[in-house]
């Protein structure tokens, strides 16, 4: 019995009209992040990918931010403390966790209004891998800007042992879908006319 791909009609033409093997090319939109309308109180987003914290991260961030606490850069000093080794700069942990959450929470934010209730629950060491999740705890319309709404999430970061190391609340102003105009041909951040265009696929 002939396979479907080998079937022909009576005059020898391919049964599908001669288009066998043809692939339709099309522009497909990628993930654009959530807009204000997409958030619902109680939703929890487990952000993709974990991130292993390296000694380089800690040294560079400590130098860039001029943090002079020897717990972050003096191994001999840190070895004599209760932790027995250097700790990762807490403000780096905050920056990393917030960055990990952007893909789900604030890719379409126009501004961050505040960071509140920041708590370091456990130390982070070189070699720890962090994971982050956000829970929507409040959303409301902006009273001064029609094109955005205000969303508050609780951000939580865990290490590879499921130990909570950080929690905080953050509140961005998020663009409403009705005011955004991304397309597959011109996604957010792309100038008009760059890359593959619909006419290129005709």
Average pLDDT (114-140) is 98
Q: Does residue 169 contact residue 158 with C-beta atoms inside 8 Å?
A: no
Q: Whole-prediction pTM value?
A: 0.84
Lowest mean pLDDT: which of 19-33, 97-111, 123-137?
A: 19-33
Residue-level pLDDT at 20: 63
Q: At what angle do helices 90-105 and 55-64 cross, to 10 degrees?
A: 100
9-33 pLDDT tens trace = 444 444 455 566 667 889 998 889 9
Q: What is the pLDDT of residue 16?
A: 52
- 33 contacts 103 by C-beta, under 8 angstroms: yes
- The residues, ordered by sequence, that sit 6+ positions from 38 with a Cβ below 8 Å of its Cβ are 177
pLDDT level of residue 112 (50, 70, 90 thresholds):
very high
Q: What is the residue extent of each domain of the chain?
A: 28-180
Proportion of the chain in helix, strand, coil states, percent, rounded to 5 = 25, 25, 50
Task: Number of helices (H) and strands (E) in the chain: give both, helices first.
Answer: 3, 6
What's the rounded mean pLDDT across residues 186-192? Answer: 86
Confidence of residue 149 (pLDDT cuts 50, 70, 90): very high
Least confident of 14-18, 105-109, 175-179, 198-202: 14-18
Could you tell me whether strands 51-52 and 109-120 are parallel, antiparallel, or unpaired per DSSP bridges?
unpaired
Whether 94 and 168 have beta carbons less than 8 Å apart is answered as yes
The model's confidence at residue 4, banded by pLDDT at 50, 70 and 90, is: very low
Determine the CATH number of domain 28-180. 3.10.129.10
């Amino acid at each position: 019995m002939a396979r479907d791909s080998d079937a022909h009609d009576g005059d020898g033409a391919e049964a599908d009209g001669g288009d066998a093997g043809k692939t339709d090319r099309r522009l497909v939109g990628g993930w654009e992040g959530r807009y204000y309308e997409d958030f619902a109180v109680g939703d929890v987003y487990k952000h993709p990918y974990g991130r292993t914290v390296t000694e380089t991260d800690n040294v560079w961030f400590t130098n860039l931010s001029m943090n002079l606490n020897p717990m972050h850069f003096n191994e001999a000093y840190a070895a004599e403390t209760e932790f027995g080794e250097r700790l990762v700069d807490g403000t780096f942990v905050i920056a990393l966790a917030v960055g990990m959450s952007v893909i789900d929470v604030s890719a379409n934010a126009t501004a961050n209004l505040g960071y509140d209730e920041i708590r370091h629950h456990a130390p982070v060491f070189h070699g720890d891998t962090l994971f982050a999740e956000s829970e929507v705890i409040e959303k409301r319309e902006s009273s001064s800007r029609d094109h955005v709404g205000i969303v508050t999430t609780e951000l939580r970061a865990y290490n590879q042992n499921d130990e909570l190391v950080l929690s905080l609340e953050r509140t961005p102003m998020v663009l409403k879908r009705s005011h955004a105009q991304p397309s597959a041909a011109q996604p957010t951040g792309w100038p008009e006319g760059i890359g593959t265009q619909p006419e290129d696929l005709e």
